[in-house]
Amino acid sequence: IFRGTLSKRGVRVITGLGKYFRQVDKNRNGFLSQAAFKEALKVFHLEVPEGDFESLWLILDDSKSDKVDYGEFTRAIFGEMSEYRKAFVRKAYMKLDFSKTGSVPMVDVRKCYCAR
């Protein structure tokens, strides 16, 4: 449904879905129910016939938990990162992790990054 070269609109939709998922994930566990996922598709005008939706859900909910992990969702759409990109992300993370604890507090991110 989403595979192939993403157009500018496609990238905006995927990015928008990510923001939407975080908004509806009230308990911040990174998972969405089938109903919430179906509603998200409607909100973004992604008309998916019921049979296709069921097939998509079976792929995304491979653990049969009746919920989908947003990280798994993005990997299903974009695929795994290339080794070059993974190395780039690791380098950036190492620069952000000043204390070398393995986690980066938001205050440290703010020291290095301005979204404006």
Residue 15 pLDDT level (bands cut at 50, 70, 90): confident
Per-residue pLDDT of 42-93, as tens digits, reads 888 888 888 898 888 888 887 788 888 877 777 776 677 789 988 998 898 8
Query: Containing domain of residue 106, as a range?
Result: 83-112
Residue 34: its H or E element: helix 34-43
Statement to judge: residues 97 and 59 lie in one domain: no
Q: Which residues pair with 33 in a beta bridge?
A: 67
Statement to judge: residues 67 and 100 lie in one domain: no
- If DSSP codes are grouped into helix, strand and coil, which group holds residue 45? coil
Statement to judge: residues 19 and 55 lie in one domain: yes
Q: Is the pLDDT of residue 25 over 60?
A: yes
For the chain, the domain total comes to 2
Statement to judge: residues 71 and 100 lie in one domain: no
pTM confidence score: 0.55
CA distance 25 to 19: 10
Among 33, 30, 27, which residue's Cα sits nearest to residue 69? 30
Q: For residue 87, what pLDDT is reported?
A: 92
